[in-house]
Amino acid sequence: MKFGTLDDIETARKTVILRVDFNSPIDPASNTILDDKRFREHTPTVQNLQDSKVVIVTHQSRPQKKDFTTLKAHAERLEHLLGRPVEYIDDIFGRCARDAVKKMDCGDILMLENVRFNAEENIKMTPEEAASTHLVRGLSKLGDIYVNDAFGTAHRSQPTMVGLPYVMKSVAGTLMEKEVSCLSKVFSDSPKPVTFVLGGTKVDDSMNVARNVLECGIADRVVVVGVVANVFLLAEGVDIGCPSSDLIKKLGYYGEIKKAAEILSKFKDKVILPEYVAVRNEDGTRGEFSVDKIPDKYPVLDLGLDSLVPFTDILRNSGTVVFNGPAGLFEEDLFSTGTFELLKAASESEFSVVGGGHTAVVAESLGINDRFSHISTGGGACIEFLTGKKLPAISALEKSREMFGKK
């Protein structure tokens, strides 16, 4: 790795500015955190800094959203998980924050207010621009070292992600290091054959991943499911019915059909499309049809059972499986079979990665999350990483190592 890690730096008795991503599902009415998975993923980094004064910088949601709120509940949840006091203060870098930091002893943990309450944090900017913001200048005065553990936000070029490494000695936290290491393995020494499963509704991201891993020779096969599969079927001239076609138009992905056609023209034998799908019948029941006989008025909502057997065989016989996006409307029991069975099969491969987001939630709900080699905490960040892009936060950490030295 070109960036520094906690092993490269002395943090004992130092004041550490720790950027994490505690952005979580929350009940706006009661301000109750509904899922603390990200808290649990970050706790090893916090525990590794137990001899430091830890000042936590994080966010919840973004402006105009219903769950854009203070971090009092987040501090309480972290305190519960750590079994150690976590002080919350409703300030970011003002006098109250400065005074609170001055009073800290080694082993203390302080959580600052939602950093996105500061307008500068919500603006995309270059690292140089970010380094000169009031936010970065103010936060950098609070600590000696900056540790970025927020992989889930690593694709955002925002001040705390890319500006602080330009003004402070900075390293990656335990989770950031783990994410980059595991995802990088997909591109280098992962067991063969390598299969990508791309589904869900983020069609443009999936197209970019498919193109990258096929053109670079990383993937031996790309299995497409969900709305992504529907776009590929349209590219092949298959009539998927009005409801499914209308959804693609509504999501703004009709232009992706051309991209799908280009991928198929180059890698026809490596892109695996479903031959059978499941639809919702007029009476609400599940119906199974081959793709050339999809009823015009019924929406495609899952992988067909006759496609499930060959698909699961492919995954079980793969050395590496990267799984990103569900195979259908998994929230409904009637259409959850494809997603559930494919995930179970993927977990049996020698090296298996789940790309965060909804897929990670399903894996945990099935109780099979421990069977995967790695489950990413960053949906968007993971996808961008798999497209071959260098994430802004990672580039900033690499630059910080150049600027402030390896030790």
Kindly state the helix (H) or strand (E) to which residue 19 belongs, with its residue range: strand 15-19
Q: What is the pLDDT of residues 219-232, one digit of tens each?
A: 999 999 999 999 99
Q: Which of 148, 120, 140, 43 is nearest to 391 (CA)?
A: 148
Lowest-confidence pick of 23-37, 49-63, 183-197, 322-336 = 23-37
**pLDDT higher than threshold 60 for residue 407:** no
Strand, helix or coil at 172? Answer: strand
What is the C-alpha end-to-end distance of the chain, expressed in Å? 14
Domains and CATH numbers, the chain: 6-179+391-404 (3.40.50.1260), 192-349 (3.40.50.1260)
- For residue 193, say if its preceding peptide bond is cis, omega within 30 degrees of 0: yes
Q: How far is CA 200 from the centre of its chain?
A: 14
pLDDT digits (tens, 9 = 90+) for 115-138: 999 999 999 999 999 999 999 999
| Per-residue pLDDT at 406 | 55
Tokens of 205: 């991201």
Q: Spell out the residues 6+ positions from residue 141 whose beta carbon is closer than 8 angstroms to its own.
A: 93, 98
> Which range (173-177, 186-190, 233-237, 278-282) has the least confidence?
186-190
Phi, psi of 73, rounded to the nearest 5 degrees: -65, -30
Which structure tokens are listed for 41? Answer: 């993923």
Q: Note whether 260 and 237 are within 8 A (CB).
A: no
Helix, strand or coil for residue 87? strand
CA–CA dist 115, 156 (Å, integer): 14
Is 195 within 8 Å of 221 (Cβ atoms)?
yes
- Mean per-residue pLDDT, 188-208: 94
pLDDT tens digits, one per residue of 308-320:
999 999 999 999 9
Predicted pLDDT of residue 285: 97
Which residues have a Cβ under 8 Å from the Cβ of 317 and sit 6 or more positions away?
193
